[in-house]
Amino acid sequence: MGTSAGTIRLGAVIITMGNRPEELRDLLDSVAKQRGSAIEIAVVGNGSPLPELPPGVRTVELPENLGIPGGRNVGIEAFGPDGGEVDVLLFLDDDGLLPNEDTAELVREAFAADPALGIVSFRIADPESGSTQRRHVPRLRASDPLRSSRVTTFLGGANAVRTEVFREVGGLPGEFFYAHEETDLAWRALDAGWMIDYRADMVLFHPLTAPSRHAVYHRMVARNRVWLARRNLPWTLVPVYLGVWMLLTLLRRPSGPALRAWFGGFKEGWTAPSGTRRPMRWRTVWRLTRLGRPPII
Across the range 75-97, mean pLDDT stands at: 98
* Interval 57-76: pLDDT, tens: 999 999 999 999 999 999 99
Both 129 and 272 in a single domain? Answer: no
pLDDT of residue 215: 58
Both 60 and 156 in a single domain? Answer: yes
Residue 297 lies in a domain: no
Both 34 and 169 in a single domain? Answer: yes
Both 135 and 223 in a single domain? Answer: no
Q: 209, 229, 264 — which closes off a domain?
A: 209
Taking the CA atoms of 259, 261, 264 and 266 in sequence, report the sign of the dihedral they define: negative
pLDDT above 80 for 2 = no
pTM to 2 decimal places: 0.95
Containing structural domain, residue 77: 5-209
Rounded Cα gap, residues 275 and 265, in angstroms: 16
Across the range 127-147, mean pLDDT stands at: 94
Amino acid sitting at position 251: L
Q: 167, 183, 209 — which closes off a domain?
A: 209
pLDDT above 70 for 5 = yes
Residue 55 lies in a domain: yes
Across the range 271-283, mean pLDDT stands at: 97
* Interval 10-30: pLDDT, tens: 999 999 999 999 999 999 999
Beta-carbon neighbour count of residue 276 at 10 Å?
8
DSSP letters spanning 76-122: HHTTSGGGTTSSEEEEE-TT-B---TTHHHHHHHHHHH-TTEEEEEE
pLDDT of residue 205: 98
pLDDT of residue 1: 45
Both 156 and 229 in a single domain? Answer: no
Both 136 and 172 in a single domain? Answer: yes
Both 138 and 250 in a single domain? Answer: no
Cβ-Cβ contacts under 8 Å for 14 (sequence gap 6 or more): 24, 27, 28, 41, 42, 43, 44, 75, 91, 92, 93, 94
Both 96 and 204 in a single domain? Answer: yes
Rounded Cα gap, residues 88 and 160, in angstroms: 6
| Residue in 247, 253, 250, 236 with CA at minimum distance from that of residue 295 | 236
Query: How much is the mean pLDDT over the chain?
Result: 95
Both 262 and 139 in a single domain? Answer: no
pLDDT of residue 199: 98
Across the range 124-143, mean pLDDT stands at: 94
Amino acid sitting at position 228: L
* Interval 38-50: pLDDT, tens: 999 999 999 999 9
The domain tally of the chain equals 2
Residue 29 lies in a domain: yes
Whichever domain contains 45, its CATH number is 3.90.550.10
In contact, 50 and 16? CB cutoff 8 Å: yes
Residue 246 lies in a domain: yes
Both 55 and 87 in a single domain? Answer: yes
DSSP letters spanning 134-178: GGGSSSS--S-TT--EEES---TTEEEEEHHHHHHH----GGG-S
Both 189 and 246 in a single domain? Answer: no
In contact, 31 and 62? CB cutoff 8 Å: no
Residue 296 lies in a domain: no
246: left (phi over 0), alpha (psi -120 to 50) or beta: alpha
Rounded Cα gap, residues 170 and 221, in angstroms: 22
Both 237 and 174 in a single domain? Answer: no
Across the range 4-15, mean pLDDT stands at: 96
Type and span of the H or E element at 253: none
What strand order describes the sheet that includes 158-162? 58-61, 40-45, 10-16, 88-92, 158-162, 117-125, 195-205, 149-151
Rounded Cα gap, residues 289 and 291, in angstroms: 5
* Interval 220-274: pLDDT, tens: 999 999 999 999 999 999 999 999 999 999 999 999 999 999 999 999 999 999 9
* Interval 171-215: pLDDT, tens: 999 999 999 999 999 999 999 999 999 999 999 999 987 765 555
